[in-house]
Amino acid sequence: MEMKVLKSENKLCTCCMEEHEVKTVLVKEQATYKNRKINYEASYMYCDTADELYMDEHQMQDNDLKMKNSYRRAEGLLTSEDICNIRGKYGITQSDLCILLGWGGKTITRYESHQVQDKAHDTILKKLDRDPEWFLSLLKDSKDNLTAEAYQKYLNAATLLYESDQDLYLRKAIEASYVRFQGNTLFQGNTDLSLDKVVDVIRYYASSFKISNLFKVKLMKLMWYADALSYKQRGFAITGLVYKAFPMGAVPVAHNFIIDLKDVPCEEVDLGETYAYHFSLSGESEFPALSEDDKRILDIVIEKLGGMSKDEIVAFMHREQAYIETAPRDVILFKYADNLQI
């Protein structure tokens, strides 16, 4: 039998009832749990005198948990350690988490010690792990059943998690606004939405010394031209954005959310009675989401339009067939890219 020795110590061996060096070892085991064969490593004591393996009470409990966690991994369920970690990120006790979820008071204790959760409870725990906003809503509903100290502690922890995940929520909001356009190739330029590419296109433009005064209106036009030119040359757009015909030209759907995405170099400029959004990126930068061919297309747009003022690029856009043929605030179809002015 193959064994991995973890440690050796002199003590009373409860196998042979004599005092001698007793080894703690790991042994590869196979068991069947809920009709599924499971492989795991079990911990034993080993008596050289009797050449036998045996377990103390702690090892029996630990081996049972190891076997069940191996089953959980095989079934795609959270392990007991995963559940502990979820609690840890919110700093919440087992009993208080049960209060939030409306479960029996010992449910989480059992899941962390010996009982395998069902798929319904597993789904809820996974959602809790990735969605601090939902935790906050559950916390609010359970406020009267928690101590004031505990409530404030959990509120602070979840708020910090929510703020750190703000970009994730922003992306979800943008993606949700694009669901209705899925499958319409003329709306998205034969490309699925890629917010990583959107961010890198903005950063690429913001890093170019050939683009003067890159404010939001101008940026939106440059983005449309890049996607339209890509569609004209390659049959697909770069970003998957959907553009509408606004009074000052093409503007992507969810444009206000897009400029707030993480890593977008946007600065709010106070103009007195209003604000403007300026984009600038200095120093060496990488654009991992963009291919060399993507950059080639962006460089063409920069060369042709980068030096234009806001008014000039708006006027240039107004002469595009794509803009002329599209009703105000309607989606600009990519079929017009064939007649692009650049």
Whether 222 and 98 share a structural domain: no
How many Å apart are CA 91 and CA 150, to the nearest integer? 9
Asked if residue 1 has pLDDT above 80, the reply is no
Q: Is the pTM of this model over 0.85?
A: no
- Quick one: tokens of 47? 């008596």
Q: Give residue 270's pLDDT.
A: 84
Whether residue 46 is contained in a domain is answered as: yes
Residue-wise pLDDT for 57-76, tens only, equals 999 999 999 999 999 999 99
Whether 132 and 59 share a structural domain: no
Question: CB of 190 within 8 A of CB of 235?
Answer: yes
Asked if residue 272 has pLDDT above 90, the reply is no
Whether 280 and 204 share a structural domain: yes
Whether residue 332 is contained in a domain is answered as: yes
Residue-wise pLDDT for 124-162, tens only, equals 999 999 999 899 999 999 999 999 999 999 999 999 998
Give the percent of the chain with pLDDT over 70: 100
Whether 328 and 246 share a structural domain: yes
Whether residue 169 is contained in a domain is answered as: no
Q: Give residue 167's pLDDT.
A: 87
Whether residue 174 is contained in a domain is answered as: no
Whether 203 and 317 share a structural domain: yes
Domain that holds residue 147: 82-164
Residue-wise pLDDT for 18-36, tens only, equals 999 999 999 999 999 999 9
Whether residue 118 is contained in a domain is answered as: yes
Strand, helix or coil at 131?
coil
Whether residue 91 is contained in a domain is answered as: yes
What beta strand segments (E) does 172-246 contain?
243-246
Whether 14 and 148 share a structural domain: no
Whether 65 and 89 share a structural domain: no
Whether residue 244 is contained in a domain is answered as: yes
The rounded radius of gyration (Å) of the Cα atoms in the chain is 30
Q: How many domains does the chain have?
A: 3
Q: Give residue 168's pLDDT.
A: 84
